[in-house]
Amino acid sequence: MRYSQSLIPTLKENPAEAEVASHRLLLRAGYIRKLTAGIYTYLPLGLAAVRKVEHIVREEMNRAGAQELLMPMVQPADLWHETGRYEKYGPELLRFVDRHDRESCLGPTHEEVITDLVRREIRSYRDLPKNLYQIQTKFRDEIRPRFGLMRGREFIMKDAYSFDVDDVQAGESYQRMYDAYKKIFTRCGLDFRPVEADSGTIGGSFSHEFMVLADTGEDTLVICSSCDYAANSEKAEVKAPQADESPLLELTKVETPGKRKVPVVCEFMEIEPHELVKTMVYKADEEYIAVLVRGDREVQEVKLKNHLGVVDVEMATDKEVYDATGVPTGYLGPIDITIKLLVDQEVAAMRNFVCGANEKNFHVKNVNMGRDFEPAAVADLRQITASDPCPVCGAALGMKEGIEVGHVFKLGTGYSTAMNAVFKDSNGQDKPMVMGCYGIGVSRIVAAAIEQNHDENGMAFPMPLAPMQVILLNLGLKDEKITKTAESLYLELQEKGVDVLLDDRDERPGSKFKDADLLGIPLRVTVGKRLTKDGVVELRQRKDGATEELAPEMVAARIVELINAAMID
């Protein structure tokens, strides 16, 4: 590719809207341009990076026995009605009607479409297992599209779906995908970690997420310092504490005028936050629910959602709390509360705690579950912290931020039962197919790779994902020897199958060097004055700045050697 003919509109300034490095650099390096919120055009280099990811994904999926197909993006609502997801999916599903008044949606995921296909085409156990995948543009009307390619509304995903005769075979399919994913992210050159993930209301470890470790990640992971345990913190189980056996003290009402917030109440009552219990109110679908957690803890909304088996939980506003309970926020407590009450297991183990009195300007102390109130249920409902022990081995936990780039999920027979996707087993009996689904955020991987690999001058792509492997600078357009050498190197590298960008623009060396750094291409070859003077060209590695000088005829072989060493198979 010749720079002079390409569309690589680099920017000198940092775009104001970009909060994270990948977003900033993708815009600055002319890889992407925004059309509207969460929707981007991939310019030639951006697309080339996406294609590198796709290539690795395709190779490993095919190797794992999956077959590629391509499903439509527009999906009829009828299919989604069959699984009940048309109502349940929420506003991320972009719904519309066509000219014949048919309800439709843009595919955010393809369980319905693939299950419809498979139920029509596959009849017998002899035709199973099957694993089908596609690499396709998805649309999700994300509430907060941000960070460029990281969380778009339109983005490229690889989605695969497996169909098996029973749980055992489905478990094998899951394991094959899990292994393929490890291979894929390793080959991408990413520092990643598979973690146990939330699997909705199914429960158990039926789902793993693959997380690229980066400070800008939107997910928090807990990682055991001793055993293999690693999980998304929204799913990480908290070990139940030992019950406090102290004698029950007398329930006492205390006037706390204007004291609503935990630190203020604690200071006023001369207690520590862990001696206090907060009453949090959530709107769970249409019902208001109160949840008790210790004063220094947070409710984990995903755990709450799963416990209740609802679609959506949201913290209630002050007004909603008042309307639902008759008590202003800050003074709410479990005694005689009028809405459904859930208790975090840690609170259930506490004795003689302080909480709101369900009366403005009052709290109560020496409150005890069982004696003073009865909850609807006790469960693990709080967010894990770094000081909790590993739920598997009890050792200390570490916490890290991660970017979710892949997700493998055992679906079981939920979709196949709802959509009547059955096969005849060897006795001629109809059985629902056992399914799994497996996603990879192809465009998000490009952003994640940059989050992990950049410096103040620009990106520094890992070789396997770099849109171009070499940038070749011609610093003497008017110098015959320099130009001839650059041009013949350009040809030679292309012949050897190297992806090379020849910077043949009429620009000052300084700006060529700057752009080369910004673009993040792993190897830079400079053909300039040193050729005229000493007969050498310079080869520099973007990542560590390592530089060598070589005779032009040695360059191609050295580059091939460096590329081969950097590629992982």
Which residues are at the interface with ligand ATP (CB under 6 A)? Answer: 109, 140, 142, 151-152, 155, 157, 404-407, 439, 441, 443-444
Q: Which is nearer to ligand ATP, 230 or 473 (CB)?
A: 230
Helical spans, DSSP H, in 374-508: 414-418, 442-452, 480-495
Reduced to 3 states (helix: H, G, I; strand: E, B; else coil), residue 10 is coil
- Least Å distance, CB 285 to ligand ATP, is 19
Q: Which is nearer to ligand ATP, 151 or 297 (CB)?
A: 151
* Beta strand 39-42 pairing with 32-36: antiparallel
Count the neighbouring beta carbons within 10 Å of the beta carbon of residue 427: 7
- Least Å distance, CB 569 to ligand ATP, is 23
Q: Which is nearer to ligand ATP, 107 or 152 (CB)?
A: 152
Q: Cα separation of 421 and 119, whole Å?
A: 4
**The tokens 């991660």 sit on which residue?**
402
- Least Å distance, CB 93 to ligand ATP, is 12
Q: Which is nearer to ligand ATP, 147 or 331 (CB)?
A: 147
Which backbone phi and psi does 130 adopt, to 5 degrees? -135, 145
- Least Å distance, CB 64 to ligand ATP, is 17
- Which tokens sit at 437? 């689904």
- Least Å distance, CB 184 to ligand ATP, is 12
Q: Cα separation of 140 and 252, whole Å?
A: 52
- Least Å distance, CB 342 to ligand ATP, is 24
**The tokens 């999980």 sit on which residue?**
231
Q: Cα separation of 139 and 315, whole Å?
A: 27
Q: Cα separation of 161 and 54, whole Å?
A: 17
Q: Say if CB 197 and CB 207 are below 8 A apart.
A: yes
Q: Say if CB 104 and CB 75 are below 8 A apart.
A: yes
- Which tokens sit at 204? 């158990």
Q: Which is nearer to ligand ATP, 302 or 349 (CB)?
A: 302
Helical spans, DSSP H, in 270-376: 301-308, 318-325, 345-348
- Least Å distance, CB 445 to ligand ATP, is 7
- Least Å distance, CB 443 to ligand ATP, is 6
- Least Å distance, CB 172 to ligand ATP, is 21
Q: Which is nearer to ligand ATP, 327 or 405 (CB)?
A: 405
- Least Å distance, CB 49 to ligand ATP, is 14
Q: Cα separation of 335 and 343, whole Å?
A: 12
Q: Cα separation of 461 and 452, whole Å?
A: 9
Q: Which is nearer to ligand ATP, 52 or 140 (CB)?
A: 140
Amino acid at 371: R
Tell me the residue number closest to ligand ATP, measured at CB: 441
Q: Which is nearer to ligand ATP, 141 or 320 (CB)?
A: 141
Q: Say if CB 29 and CB 459 are below 8 A apart.
A: yes
The widest CA-to-CA distance across the chain, in whole angstroms, is 96
- Give first-to-last CA distance, the chain, whole Å: 26
Beta bridge partners of 549: 538
